[in-house]
Every structure is written in C-alpha cells, then in structure tokens.
Structure 1
Amino acid sequence: MTLFNAPRGARNTVQRVFHKSILLAAFVSGIASANAVLALDIRNDMGGVVSQRMAKVEQLRAAGTRVRILGTCVSACTLYLGLPNTCVSRTAKLGFHGPSTRLQGIPLPRQEFERVSRQMAAYYPSQIRGWFMSEARMRTGSYYTISGAQAIAMGARPCTEA
C-alpha cells in the first residue's frame, strides 16, 4: 500500500508529520543562520573610497561580523580597526595616509582634509588615532606602513594565532 491508496486518515497524518518536519527544519536552519558568526579575512586590501568603506564598516558592525586582518591592509581598509570584532595578525602590514582626491597630485581643500581626517581617525584605537592625526595623515602621495605587531602595540586587538 502506498501513501496515495492509504486510507484518508492515515494520509492526512503522514502529510501533517511531513509538513511539521519541514517547518522544524526551516526553523532550525533559521536559528543556525541567525547565530552564525560571519567572518571576513583581509589578506590583500588596497583600500578605496573612504565614504564607501565607512558605510561597509557600519554594515559589518550591524551584522556583528568578525574581521581578521591577516595580510596587507592599506588606506581605507584600515578603517576596519574601528570594529569591535576586528583583530590584527602580528605579521599583517597596514598602510596609512591622509585623505586625498582620486586625482594624483591634487589635494583636498584644507577644510575637507581636516574633516575627513577626523572621520577616519575616529575609527582607530586611541594611540593609532593620535599617530594618524599628528603624522600619518600628512602623507598623501604614498603611505606609512606598520606591521601588525606595531599596530597591536598601538592598541589594535591581536588575533589569536592558530
């Protein structure tokens, strides 16, 4: 006897159990997805537009995403340091410079340079923030490179090396 030629009551019972099983599986899957720890590993990020990266950082903050800076992280990438779930590998390389226009050799107007510098600095641990505002932001044609170990000594959270 198959489900289709079973008595109507038995068929309804099997269908109810099947539907409840599907609902339970969907519920458990939803819980697993909601509790999943999202992670982003940075290995070679050369930065980008500061305002776009700030928006990305805020999306990651809202999602509770864990960020691990494991390799090269330059320019706007360093804004990830502002996330509570960001850690830095001792062997990582971080590059810092001040805000600039996308056009080589054309600086931002002074007032805009100050405003964007302060916005960027707000994402850094306090010691990195102070260094950035007094020194690193003054470089715009290239960048200062520090190791992950130096960033950690300046207040970045270390990754637990596996």
Structure 2
Amino acid sequence: MGYLSPPPSPAPVIVYKDVGGLVTDYEAQTEQYRRENREVRLHECRSACTLALSLPNVCVYPDAQVKFHQAYNAISKEVDLGVSAKLFAAYPAAVQARLGYLTREYRVLRGSELIALGMRNCNGDNPVLIASRSQRQAVSASVRPDAAAPVAANPFGDLARKVQTAVAGAFSSPEASPRGSIRIAVADRERVPEGRLSSDAVARSEASTAIPRTPPTLADPPPLPPRRPPSEAFTARDAAAPFAMIPGSQPILSAKFLPVATR
C-alpha cells in the first residue's frame, strides 16, 4: 500500500513501500490525513513520502527505512532548494538535528533510530494475555490501573494466577506500564465428559467387530475379439506364379532374388 492510496477511513494507512513523487501531491495527502487524524504506519518511505513524519498520528516499525533527499525538478533534474527547505522544515526537530541537512543522495534512517529520536513505535508495548471464558470475571477485576501487586487469592487455578501476575507486573512501575490498552484473547474449549467419550469408543469398537470384512473380488476379464481371417491381398499361389519377361530385355537382378508376380 502506498502513501497516496489509502484504505477507506478510518482504517490506518500502512505504507509498505512508497518511493515518492510530486511534492504537491504528497502535501495534499498529508493535510487530508491531518484533518482526519488518520494513523499512518511506515515500513519503507522515500523522498516526498517523508512528509508523513510531520503527522501527529504517525508511527514507524523498528525495521522501517525512511530515506531523505533534496527535491529536484523532474525534467531538468536540478535541485529545487525552495521545495527542499519546505521538506526539511516539516520534519520533527529531533529528525532535523539528526540529519543536519538534505543532500542529493539518499540519507537513510532506520525505524529503530527514529524511535530513539522520539517517533512512536508501531509495534507498541501492549501485552496479549490468554484466559478461558470462565475466568474473564477474575481477570477483569485484576486489570485495573491501581493494581500494584498480584492478587493473593486465586481459586481459578494456575492459568488465572499467571494472568494476574503478568497484569500486576505490567503496572508495577511507571517505566513498565504499557502505553496502550491491554488486550486479552479469550479461548473457550468444550470439555467432553469421560463417560461419553468411553461409551463412544466402545460403540465404535463393537461396530467394527460385528461387521465381517470380506476381501474384494475381481471381475472376470472381458473375452478377446475373434481372430481376423487371413488377408487375400497376397497368397502363396501368387508367389509361385511366374512372370513374363519382355522380349529382348536383360535381367538387372542376380539369380538369388526370387521373382514375385504382381497384379
């Protein structure tokens, strides 16, 4: 997905690879994202696409690549210092300080570098916890901002204890507190009663022993077609019949060749 081809709002714009283009097109698209407060996530972003860094709701992945360079005229290939200055002014102050200036060649900043400069990490720090449906009430009671220690009483087994410990650890210190909401994936499995399972197994076993198995029999092969009668195009009588020599002619074959009459 490119920067100029977003999905329907309000879905986030995920830029997998955008090589840039006309600065005016990217300026207009950036202002539209700003009005909509759209989230823009960057994987690889080059040239005019770097205007996305000016958005308040932009983030980068740690392995992202953002490539900066001076703007130039598409026809003459000459650097446009005025447009280049507008590009540079749109970047956050920390990014400007890291780049220093723009050049005609690409200058690349990886996502991990931009995150260290203050850009938001698209991966975030939201832990994913797993609990059964019957334990949602106990887990929801423990997921509170004021939960600073694990819950001592735990009548729901080892899984709920692990969930509560993980939640409490996430909020144990300001540095470790997640910046987003904690997502809990709920998985519910139906338990099959042992009595029903064993009875089904016995029924299948009895059914398999009650029906005798007989080996399959092969059908008789089809009869062969009748033998064709001998051809009458050539018979022994024809082979023995002499042929007439043209008067005055000379044989061209030696005597070892057997003359055969033709019709």
TM-score interval (norm. to shorter): 0.5 to 0.7
- How high is the TM-score relative to the length of structure 1? 0.65
Which residue is equivalent to 2:116?
153
CA contact (8 A) 1:126 1:155 kept: no
Which one of 65, 81, 92 corresponds to residue 53 of structure 2? 81
Which one of 118, 121, 126 corresponds to residue 88 of structure 2? 121
Give the drift of 1:104. Answer: 6.0
Q: Which runs of 4+ in 1 moved over 3 A?
A: none
CA contact (8 A) 2:70 2:79 kept: no
CA contact (8 A) 1:38 1:64 kept: no
Give the drift of 1:76. Answer: 0.8
CA contact (8 A) 2:30 2:52 kept: yes
Looking at secondary structure, tell me which structure has more helix per residue: 1
Say whether 1:40 aligns with 2:17. Answer: no
Which one of 73, 78, 81 corresponds to residue 106 of structure 1? 78
Percent identity over the alignment is: 32
Measure the CA separation in 1 of the matches of 2:66 and 2:60.
9
Give the count of matched residue pairs: 117
CA contact (8 A) 1:66 1:85 kept: yes
Measure the CA separation in 1 of the matches of 2:90 and 2:63.
21
Which one of 26, 29, 50 corresponds to residue 53 of structure 1? 26
Change over 3 Å in CA distance of 1:55–1:90 after alignment to 2: same
Letter in 2 for 1:59: Q
Change over 3 Å in CA distance of 1:49–1:38 after alignment to 2: same
Which one of 71, 89, 97 corresponds to residue 130 of structure 1? 97
Measure the CA separation in 2 of the matches of 1:125 and 1:107.
23
Match of 2:15, SS state, is strand
Greater Cα radius of gyration, structure 1 or 2: 2
Relative contact order, CA 8 A, sep 6+: which one is greater? 1
Superposed CA deviations along residues 8-55 of structure 1, whole A, max 9, x for unmatched, are xxxxxxxxxxxxxxxxxxxxxxxxxxxx63310010100111121011
Letter in 2 for 1:60: Y
Structure 1: gaps of 5 or more residues: 1-35
